[in-house]
Amino acid sequence: MKYFLLFLCVALAVRAAEPVDVLVQGAENKEVAEIVAALKEPKKLEIGVFSFWTGRIGPHRVAVSLTGQALINCTVSTLIGIEEFTPKLIVNQGTSGAQVPYLGLHDIIVGRRALDYGNFITPVRGAGQGSAPLAWTPVPQRLRLPANGALVAFPDGFHGDAAAMAVALRTRNPMGRVFPGVIGSAHEVNLEMDRVRWSARTFGMDVEEMESGHVAALAHAYGIRYIAFRVVSDAPYDGVPFYAQAARATGIFTVNFLENLAPLTTKS
């Protein structure tokens, strides 16, 4: 029995971290700063090269994750976050570039859906015939369904959790307006207005950034509730260049959201 207890202690020591209700993600330090600062009983964990901070906000046990930018960082860190903390809800939030003229600096889009828009097949063109991105054919993200193993394409991306959206749309943004919308993710910064307009028309995108659509796919694969918030940090229709401090708005908005959000169940 003594050896069994010792065995049990060792096993428990190497188990994953304590479960949380919400995994909250930001790609950059500025995007997680307000949320980390709001944690009650904060504790920092480093898992490999990734940093997490756990604590409480409102009624929720929260893990805040600094994912790093773009697909490679955010996919690895999301899987570590899911496997370590088994969250009931993932909130991916941060900055973005407006793709439509109605949005201004500090406005926040709550993701009705999030998609990867950076994948394509080009037509065949010979040398000297140039390159025409508005003629490229988009390729939707595919994901294998755990239930039956079928490989399914998601041309519209992945829908935000309905209950979380309802709370988010009643949450105060102290620096701008809040709209439901479509978030597109790719490792791209598009400042050619014709391509910006093409993305809005082709995918329905309101903003572009580098992580939400990828994390949405991973949450879908695990059957975890998901929502994304993106503050406008650059507004090319208004000639506003990237303003990193806009991240404060979505950080504060996310804290307000968590305080408004009722205790979670697994299903929306």
Q: Which of residues 174-213 bind other proteins (CB under 8 A)?
A: 186-195, 197-198
User: Is residue 26 a contact point for other proteins (CB under 8 A)?
Assistant: no
Least Cα distance to 110 among 123, 127, 91 occurs for: 91
- CA dist 182 and 205 (Å) reads 5
- CA dist 246 and 10 (Å) reads 45
Among 2, 46, 148, 267, binds other proteins (CB under 8 A): 46
Please count the CA atoms within 13 angstroms of the CA of 39 that sit on its side-chain side: 22
User: Is residue 83 a contact point for other proteins (CB under 8 A)?
Assistant: yes
Q: Find the shortest distance in angstroms from Cβ 31 to other proteins.
A: 11
Among 19, 40, 122, 162, binds other proteins (CB under 8 A): 122
User: Is residue 11 a contact point for other proteins (CB under 8 A)?
Assistant: yes
CA-to-CA separations, 188 to 7, 68, 82, in angstroms, rounded: 49, 15, 26
Task: Quickly count: other Cβ atoms within 10 Å of residue 8's Cβ.
Answer: 10
Would you say 126 or 263 has its CB closer to other proteins? 126
Q: Find the shortest distance in angstroms from Cβ 103 to other proteins.
A: 16
Amino acid of residue 219: A
Residues 221-250 that bind other proteins (CB under 8 A): 221-222, 236
Selected range binding other proteins among 67-75, 85-93, 167-175, 248-256, rule: CB under 8 A: 67-75
